[in-house]
Copies of this chain bind each other. A is one copy, B any other.
Amino acid sequence: MIDVARRAGVGLGTVSRVVNGGHGVRDETAQRVRTAIEQLGFQRNEVARALRPGKKSSSLALVLGDLTNPFFATIAKASLEVAGQSGFAVVLGSVDEDPEGEKRAIQELVSRQVAGLMIVPDQGDHAFLVGAGVPVVFVDRPATGIEADIVMVDNEGGGKLATDHLLEQGHERIAILLAPSYYTTGRRLRGYRRAHRGAGLEVDESLVVQLPEGNAESAEKATRELMLRPDPPTAIFASTNFLTEGVLRALGELGLEPAVVGFDDFRLADMLPTPVTVVASDIAELGRSAARLLLDRASGADRRPPQRIVLPCALIQRGSGERPPSASKRKPR
């Protein structure tokens, strides 16, 4: 930058002013500076820029679990787009491990002076973020120990939607598969219960299956056990995209066809032997909202108390969720 100043025969401050919008600089001078910048191929050093006290870097951090899960990937992509439009980069935090790992990753990112954090929180207390002086937006699920913005989907409503739909088909024995202790899981279960209550039905607690892990394998195993019971359910509500996959895999092997509704849409859901009915929401919007909110917080444009944005869910009927209770017998062939 100092080179540019010399080249243009102006002071350092002037160059800085031009680079930052050029207010309070005579047009002619500004032009001269711009020419010098051009000639020298100068590019502002964002790092030095962010060194200024108070000033944060023009990057947001995104901390999430498994990018390989289309759900997270969609959030990442969407937030990336919004951030990019405002000239912000997104730094990714790798967190596939323990909650300790998440904390470490977050602190790493904070030490990089990011302008804000978007976090899809795992369990664990996030109180350590309180004094960090960085705006935080939680995505998909709230965190404990800290008041902050949160963008999520209507999990309870979605759970009710799915369950109501199955109840309407006449199902009375509806199993629900739950990934371990996610916040979302609890809300979806609550919707499930509420639907039953609304229909005047008692929930058979043996049909509420808490899985040890949130992956497809775990769901597959549980489904197999579930369907081989003496009194199997006639319908299954899989509360997560990966769980849905496991359920379908088990059913395929077993040759059984209870009704199935999944939570969260997924690629190829409509191309499986029986197209899969799901409760879906606009995941990309989740990411977009989070990024927008965070950007506004970071710039100081938004000083409202912590917001809570809840996106609606919708039922997408494709076939698997419309099977009547009688279909859950052994498959023809």
Known: A249-B271, A271-B248. A111 touches B76 (CB 8 A): no
The reply on A110 being an interface residue by CB < 8 A is yes
Residue of B nearest to A109 (CB): B89
Q: 1/0 per residue A215-259: CB within 8 Å of B?
A: 000000000000000000000000000000100110010000000
| Total A residues in contact with B, Cβ cutoff 8 Å | 51
| Residues in B whose Cβ lies below 8 Å from that of A248 | 271
Q: Establish whether residues B81 and A73, one from each chain, have CB atoms under 8 Å apart when the complex forms.
A: no
The 8 A CB mask of A63-103 against B (1 = contact, 0 = none) is 00011101001101100110110010111111010000000
Q: Are A77 and B67 in contact (CB under 8 A)?
A: yes
Instruction: Apart from A43-B111, A59-B112, A266-B268, list 5 A-B contacts with CB within 8 A.
Output: A47-B47, A57-B112, A67-B67, A70-B73, A87-B108
Residues of A within 8 A of B (CB): 41, 43-48, 50-51, 57, 59, 62, 66-68, 70, 73-74, 76-77, 80-81, 83-84, 87, 89-94, 96, 105, 107-113, 131, 245, 248-249, 252, 266-268, 271-273
- B92 touching A92, Cβ below 8 Å: yes
What is the CB-to-nearest-CB distance from A37 to chain B, in angstroms, rounded to a whole number? 13
Docked Cα-Cα span, A93 to B76, in Å, equals: 11
Cα A51 to Cα B46 with chains together (Å)? 10
Would you mind naming 21 contact pairs between A and B with Cβ atoms under 8 Å apart? A41-B131, A43-B110, A44-B111, A46-B113, A47-B47, A47-B50, A47-B112, A59-B91, A66-B77, A67-B73, A67-B76, A67-B77, A68-B70, A73-B73, A81-B96, A89-B108, A90-B91, A90-B92, A252-B271, A267-B267, A273-B273
Copies in the complex: 2
* Bound: A80/B108 CA distance, A: 14
Q: Which residue of B lies closest to A43 (CB)?
A: B111
CB contacts (< 8 Å) of A111 on chain B: these are 43-46
What is the bound-complex CA distance between A44 and B110, given in angstroms? 10
- A84-B105 contact, Cβ under 8 Å, with A90-B91, A112-B47, A271-B252: yes
CA distance A89 to B74 in the complex (A): 20
Q: Which of B68, B105, B131 contacts A73 (CB 8 A)?
A: B68
Q: Please, which residue of chain B has its CB at the minimum distance from the CB of A69?
A: B73
